[in-house]
Amino acid sequence: MRKERTSAGHDSAGRFLRQWRGLAKAGLFALPFPRSFGGAQRPLPETALALEDLGRRRGFDGLSLSVGAQMWAVQAPLAEFGTAEQKRRFLEPLCRGRALAAPAVTEEEAGSDVLGMKASAEPRGSGWRLSGRKSCVTTAPLADFFLVWTRLPGRQGPMSLDCFIVPRRTRGLSTSAFRWELGPAGARSGTVTLAGCDLPASARLGRECQGLAVFLRAMSWERRLILAPAVGAMESRLESAARFARERRQSGRPIAQNQAVAHRLADMKIRLEACRAFLRQACLDAEARDEALSAAVKAFISEAWVANCLDAVEIHGAAGCRDAGLRGELGAALASRVMSGTNEIQRNLVASRLGLR
Ligand SMILES: Cc1cc2nc3c(=O)[nH]c(=O)nc-3n(C[C@H](O)[C@H](O)[C@H](O)COP(=O)(O)OP(=O)(O)OC[C@H]3O[C@@H](n4cnc5c(N)ncnc54)[C@H](O)[C@@H]3O)c2cc1C
């Protein structure tokens, strides 16, 4: 696993990698994946519970974001589309926690419009030459390899995309890091630049022009499960807000005795239980086949989470406005409406399922 070489951020990168290894040791990255490639082949609901527990203990921070991006947008498509050799070389080390990987789809000018991406893959000899720049890539500064989506030059439409496994050490690949002003605390995201990266034919994941299918499957997994830790974070937040409401006194009595405050807490509980039930229900489909259901889960949990954070701020009054943890959680919740595709895009998918688009 890569060590960040810059001195700036070295400590936090070291801490991130130590925490990552801790999760690997606990077997988190192996949970739902096939035993033949380092996985534990456990049922999906068990994986969701483990991720919820992660969020309950630490909130939804940069570590949870990186875990979700890797497990659902890299490991899951590798397990589904990878050749036996690709699974052995790339999936197995991820399951065992010996490597770290990230999905690279978004570009400055192509976010929601995935088919508008400009990064290209041109046939070159027996392999491919990749060029372009990906933005917003989770764990970009630390990943050992990336799943990179590209377009065939001169082609448009659903059959124009390919997906490649691109190791960091590939000549011509470079990354840079940035910090989200509104997003999961400590997230290590950045850009990935491909300046004429030559790859062998074996680097392509899936068949030629199957990139969109790989992307849609990756998103079906990611949208369903990436916010499982947020459900855990919502539970911790409800507990701390209820404790505050019982302890904080105004007009000679705990503020929890005001129905307006108690109802806010009740609303937080109702949203939490609805999110949990929706997630559990969605996990019963072990293959995450229904893309519209995945879209609905992601939109529902992210919006319920924002609502719960806003209620928590109100319950805490000025103390809420001074609470860095609450501010950070609200930022992460707002970003969760955008990540894995904005909630407008999720609604487009649900509307398509209803035959409306
Ligand atoms: C925390 C975080 C982590 C991320 N991690 C990754 C990652 O690991 N890898 C990666 O590749 N990307 C990642 N992303 C990028 C993310 O997928 C994109 O930000 C997202 O798809 C939206 O693209 P955009 O930001 O370009 O917004 P735009 O597409 O420019 O959208 C701007 C606004 O226009 C609306 N809009 C656009 N098109 C439509 C439409 N057709 N119908 C209705 N409304 C529309 C959007 O809903 C939004 O409100 C991450 C983003 C965040 C915030």
Q: Which residue's CA is the nearest one to ligand 1's atom 18?
A: 111
Q: Which residue's CA is the nearest one to ligand 1's atom 44?
A: 344
Own/partner long-range contacts of 341-346 (Cβ < 8 Å, ≥24 apart): 341/112, 341/219, 341/223, 341/295, 341/298, 342/111, 342/112, 343/298, 343/299, 343/302, 343/303, 344/112, 345/112, 345/295, 346/223, 346/295, 346/296, 346/298, 346/299
Quote the pTM value.
0.96
Domain with CATH 1.20.140.10 in the chain: 217-353
Supply the CATH classification number for the domain 217-353: 1.20.140.10
Asked whether 105 lines ligand 1 (CB < 6 A), one says: yes
Which backbone phi and psi does 101 adopt, to 5 degrees?
A: -140, 165
Establish whether 235 is a catalytic residue. no
| CA 338 / ligand 1 centre spacing (Å) | 5
| CA 10 / ligand 1 centre spacing (Å) | 29
pLDDT under 50: residue ranges of the chain: 5-9
252 within 8 A of 232, measured Cβ to Cβ: no
DSSP assignment, residue 174? E
Asked whether 147 lines ligand 1 (CB < 6 A), one says: no
Asked whether 339 lines ligand 1 (CB < 6 A), one says: yes
Asked whether 352 lines ligand 1 (CB < 6 A), one says: no
- Which atom of ligand 1 is the closest one to the Cα of 149? 11
The amino acid that residue 333 corresponds to is A
Rounded CA-CA distance 46/58 in Å is 19
Helix, strand, coil percent values for the chain (each to nearest 5):
55, 15, 30
Q: How far is CA 348 from CA 292, 299, 317, 354, in A?
A: 9, 11, 37, 10
DSSP string of 233-278, one letter each residue: HHHHHHHHHHHHHHH-EETTEEGGGSHHHHHHHHHHHHHHHHHHHH
Asked whether 45 lines ligand 1 (CB < 6 A), one says: no
Which of the listed residues 70, 100, 105, 112 should we mutate to test ligand 1's pocket, taking the one with most ligand atoms within 8 A of CB?
112
| CA 262 / ligand 1 centre spacing (Å) | 36
Domain with CATH 2.40.110.10 in the chain: 103-209
CATH number (3.30.420.60, 2.120.10.30, 3.40.640.10, 2.40.110.10) of 103-209 reads 2.40.110.10
> Active site residue: 222, 235, 291, 329, which one?
222
Which backbone phi and psi does 178 adopt, to 5 degrees?
A: -145, 165
Q: Which residue's CA is the nearest one to ligand 1's atom 2?
A: 339
| CA 216 / ligand 1 centre spacing (Å) | 15
10 Å CB burial of residue 190 (0-12, 13-18, 19+) is buried
Rg of the chain in Å (alpha carbons): 21
Asked whether 30 lines ligand 1 (CB < 6 A), one says: no
Residue in 124, 97, 247, 249 with CA at minimum distance from that of residue 194: 124
Domain with CATH 1.10.540.10 in the chain: 10-100
pLDDT (0 to 100) of residue 7:
42
Q: Which residue's CA is the nearest one to ligand 1's atom 24?
A: 111
pLDDT (0 to 100) of residue 357:
81
CATH architecture of 10-100: Orthogonal Bundle (1.10)
